[in-house]
Amino acid sequence: MKPNLSQVAVMNIAEGEELFGGWATPSIPQVGIYKLLAKKKADGTIEWVHFVQRDNGAKEKVLRGTVNTAAELAIVNDTVNNQLRRIFGVTMQAAEYDVRTLDGKKASETRH
């Protein structure tokens, strides 16, 4: 049985929310790709999720949080990048990302 995409997605975007940004490292051999995704919620806060996507597609070590401003999200991003630089010698850069509907089709826009 194929899993429901809402169960494997690390972040869902509800009505009134929009994707705020996405960052990713280059692929780290034997580790995967570290990613940070953020969405702006209807109340103006920014919810973020940080995780590693393994070569087999599995998403692990998922951390979540909410900040009030883009400046606070930049602090989260800087903190994560400092650790990635120290441990692996890489940092996350702005990345393209796919937004998909629950039935697996690509969404044409990030705003709902």
Domain extent at residue 51: 5-94
Could you give the CA distance from residue 67 to residue 65 in angstroms, rounded to a whole number? 7
pLDDT of 108: 53
**Under-50 pLDDT residues of the chain:** 1, 4-7, 109-112
Residue 102 belongs to a domain: no
* Cβ–Cβ < 8 Å for 47, 41: yes
Number of domains the chain contains: 1
* pLDDT number for residue 99: 64
- What is the predicted pLDDT for the residue at 65? 97
Identify whether the C-beta of residue 7 lies closer than 8 Å to the C-beta of residue 102: no
Does residue 45 lie within any of the structural domains?
yes
Determine which helix (DSSP H) or strand (DSSP E) holds 67, and give its type and residue range.
strand 59-67
Quick one: pLDDT at residue 9? Answer: 74
